[in-house]
Amino acid sequence: MAEAFELTDEMKAAIGSESAPWTYEVTTTSVRAFARGVGYTDPVYFDREAAHAAGYRDIPAPPTYLGTAVFIPGRSHDIFSGPVENQPSVHHGLENVLDGGTETEYFEQVCAGDTLTGVTRVASLDVRESKAIGKMLIATTEMTYTNQEGRKVAAQRSQVIFY
């Protein structure tokens, strides 16, 4: 718990900053592993023929697939697996992290075979206080995903709580 935590000018300066682009290959293996992880039994998320029969061009990424990492040692976070290279950073010094909320907006269906380019932007930083954990920093980031044809296919806003 951080009793005296407050936003510094250095932290505020990170608001609006953007990451370098990161490439997300959406592969059949990755989509199946995610669908398995959630517990799907719908064959559309595992089998190409079932996906075609349901009207998809390939195995579709399940609704909350985006956020699934493409891990490269040394360039990705060892635990959370997302990119750490040229990412906006907020030096807050808080040790604990919890997810606050997630919103994904789709402009097009994402399917296996797509190659997406993701860019993350720090949308806002807020300090709030809760009874359970005291003062906390809520960082909201927005990630936009552009496909191999240059079209924006999705945007994901994430709130992460640090305390």
Partner 1 sequence: MDAPTWETINEGDELPELHKTPTVTDLVRYSAGSGDFNPLHHDYDFPQSKAIGTIIVHGRYKYAAMGEMVSNWLQHGGRIRKISCQYRGMDFPDKPLVIQGRVASKSEDNGEKLVNLHLWTLNEDGKKTTPGWVTVVFPD
Residues that bind partner 1 (CB under 8 A): 33-40, 42, 44, 54-56, 62-64, 67-69, 71, 79-82, 95-106, 109, 157, 159
Chain-centroid distance, C-alpha 42? 24
Q: CA dist 9 to 1, 41, 92, Å?
A: 21, 49, 11
User: Which amino acid appears at position 86 of this protein?
Assistant: N
Least separation in angstroms between CB 159 and partner 1 = 8
Main-chain dihedrals φ then ψ at residue 33, nearest 5 degrees: -65, -40
Nearer to partner 1, 104 or 146 (CB): 104
Nearer to partner 1, 13 or 53 (CB): 53
User: Tokens 């640090």 belong to which residue?
Assistant: 162
Nearer to partner 1, 13 or 54 (CB): 54
Least separation in angstroms between CB 126 and partner 1 = 14
User: Tokens 């206080």 belong to which residue?
Assistant: 129
Nearer to partner 1, 32 or 121 (CB): 32
Least separation in angstroms between CB 32 and partner 1 = 9
46 three-class SS = coil
